[in-house]
Amino acid sequence: MATLHVDVLWASGEPIVSLCIEPSVTVQELKEQLQEPSGTPAECMRLLLEGSADELTDGCNFAATDVFPSHAVLQLVRLPLPQARVVQEAEQGTLSAVAVRYFRHCGSLTPYLKSLLLVHCARQGVPATCVELLADDPWAAMGVQDLPFSLRSCHYCAHCPSKYHIVAEHRQDLALIAAARHGHADTCQALLDHGAHEAWCVWAALWLAVETGHFAASGVLVRWVVNMEDE
């Protein structure tokens, strides 16, 4: 059977994307291809053949000529993504940037939840998802929603290491510190590039990275400090 042309539409009829696929492609594989153009995680999709109310099953492929014409029109219906599942995936380091965009689209990404997800993703070393979480709110990198006022209002200098013990007690609320403490150099760099660079936070992260022996992360932070002091 020849290559199939597939038009994928929202339930409203608005087009999402047009693809050419091999008949051997399964519905699950097609959903994975649709994640980026639709901004929807594969597990939150229902695909329907236009004119039918029956959902296409994930294991089905497009070789069944009696079901799929050479030019198929599919409708994509979005399903909700439970908040508990999003938090669990962040804790496990498996939360994708696509899932974050989808959750934001649904209006469910509150400031508190954003900070919580960001810290989990920083701790697990998932820089792409961290950047997506910071796309419209660099302050989320500081975790300011959860920090005590005394920490939010103080700026610690390099000559007050005892202060960092106070910050360390709240490191679960600070994405950069979480990434540094767990040695995720690429995540530290991503956070620095996207807003997590208040001086006291960088110094606290550097102190913890050195203390825990994560020298790659320390190097990223040292370079940032040197550049910051040169400016």
Confidence of residue 33 (pLDDT cuts 50, 70, 90): very high
Do 48 and 158 belong together in one domain? no
CATH number for the domain harbouring residue 117: 1.25.40
Residue range 119-126: mean pLDDT, rounded = 87
Report the relative pairing of strands 4-10 and 71-78 from DSSP bridges.
parallel
The answer to whether 201 and 174 have CB atoms below 8 angstroms apart is: yes
Domain boundary among 52, 78, 104: 78
Longest Cα–Cα distance in the chain: 75
Confidence of residue 184 (pLDDT cuts 50, 70, 90): very high
The percentage of residues in the chain with a pLDDT greater than 90, rounded to a whole number, is 18
User: Angle 111-124/185-193 helices, nearest 10 degrees?
Assistant: 140
Q: What total number of domains does the chain contain?
A: 2
pLDDT tens per residue, range 207-226: 888 888 999 999 999 999 88
* Burial track 128-156 (b if 16+ CB lie within 10 A, e otherwise): ebbbbbbeeeeebbbbbbbbeeebeeeeb
Q: Count CA atoms closer than 13 A to 182's CA, side-chain side.
A: 20
Domain boundary among 78, 111, 139: 78
CATH number for the domain harbouring residue 30: 3.10.20.90
Do 62 and 128 belong together in one domain? no
| pTM across the whole model | 0.64
Do 156 and 74 belong together in one domain? no
Question: Which range of residues forms the domain containing residue 93?
Answer: 83-230
Do 126 and 46 belong together in one domain? no
Do 195 and 105 belong together in one domain? yes
Which residue do the tokens 């329907």 mark? 48
pLDDT tens per residue, range 61-72: 877 645 566 778
Do 15 and 106 belong together in one domain? no
Which residue do the tokens 């620095």 mark? 192
Q: State the amino acid at position 135 in one-letter form.
A: A
- Residue 68 is predicted with a pLDDT of 61
- Residue 135 is predicted with a pLDDT of 77
Rg (the chain; Cα; Å): 22
Do 37 and 119 belong together in one domain? no
Do 158 and 49 belong together in one domain? no
CA dist 105 and 118 (Å) reads 17
Do 26 and 90 belong together in one domain? no
Do 34 and 130 belong together in one domain? no
Do 182 and 73 belong together in one domain? no
List the beta bridge partners of residue 49: 74
- Residue 64 is predicted with a pLDDT of 63
CA dist 1 and 208 (Å) reads 60
Provide the 10 A C-beta neighbour count for residue 10: 13
Structure tokens at 176: 């950069």
Domain boundary among 49, 78, 107: 78
Do 152 and 100 belong together in one domain? yes
95-99, 139-143, 192-196, 214-218, range with greatest mean pLDDT = 214-218
Report the relative pairing of strands 45-49 and 71-78 from DSSP bridges.
antiparallel
64-78, 133-147, 154-168, 185-199, range with greatest mean pLDDT = 185-199
